[in-house]
A and B are shown apart, each in its own frame.
Chain A
Amino acid sequence: RKEVEQDPGPFNVPEGATVAFNCTYSNSASQSFFWYRQDCRKEPKLLMSVYSSGNEDGRFTAQLNRASQYISLLIRDSKLSDSATYLCVVNFIDTDKLIFGTGTRLQVFP
């Protein structure tokens, strides 16, 4: 079983739509959680951290359920520029290692 699992997509949505991505992780020792964005042939870039209480950054909302070992990302009012692959990332206690999911591809069309 992969340590971090995501639906690979692609998710094809029209501009203005709301889209949600899910992620599950297998190691209960996971301490920190993140969503990264990766454009084609580019390096990943940190989108937002994910906190237990849930957090929001503009059109993006992230949620964490530690009991279910489940993370989500909600994007509201999708823009064409949101088209990218969204990577779910976890970090274990006492280590700087990042464990990446395979990513969920989002394509926003006009």
Chain B
Amino acid sequence: GAVVSQHPSWVICKSGTSVKIECRSLDFQATTMFWYRQFPKQSLMLMATSNEGSKATYEQGVEKDKFLINHASLTLSTLTVTSAHPEDSSFYICSAKSGRGVETQYFGPGTRLLVL
């Protein structure tokens, strides 16, 4: 199946710093990528939909100025958590679509963020 990578796999940072997470589709071109967040014992929540070459579409309640998304190429999307705070500590997962249909959406391995 298609492969999606994320980097870094985990990060620990001090409160107030910014953290960038990369999501790459390794063997296919992804016009659409999605960013999710999952808190412990909770569901994956969609944060935003990222389309190559255009602005991301954010879900209700997600601050676009805090979670900056850049989809610069067909194989790379980045999520930057600006001025991270302890409440931003979570598991961030991206997914990328390789074609039409939900079954073509592949998930990255996730990035675990801990803000001290």
Report A's interface with B, CB cutoff 8 A: 4, 8, 32, 34, 41-46, 49, 87, 91, 96-103
Contacts and interface: CB of A to CB of B under 8 A. Distances in A.
A46 B95 CA distance: 12
A96 B32 contact: yes
A26 B48 CA distance: 22
Given A43-B93, A96-B102, A97-B49, A102 B42 contact: yes
Given A32-B102, A43-B93, A102 B112 contact: no
A45 B93 CA distance: 12
Interface of B: 32, 34, 41-46, 49, 91, 93, 95, 97, 102-103, 105, 107-110, 112
Contact of B112 (A41, A87, A99, A103): A41
Contacts of A44: 44, 93, 107
Contacts, number: 47
B103 A46 contact: yes
Contacts of B97: 96
B102 A101 contact: no
B109 A103 contact: no
B103 A42 contact: no
B109 A42 contact: yes
Contacts of A87: 43-44
Nearest to A2: B43
Contacts of A41: 91, 110, 112
Given A46-B103, A96-B102, A102 B43 contact: yes
26 contacts: A32-B102, A41-B91, A42-B109, A42-B110, A43-B93, A43-B107, A44-B44, A44-B107, A46-B103, A87-B43, A87-B44, A91-B102, A96-B32, A96-B34, A96-B49, A96-B97, A96-B102, A97-B49, A98-B46, A98-B95, A99-B46, A100-B44, A102-B41, A102-B42, A102-B43, A103-B43
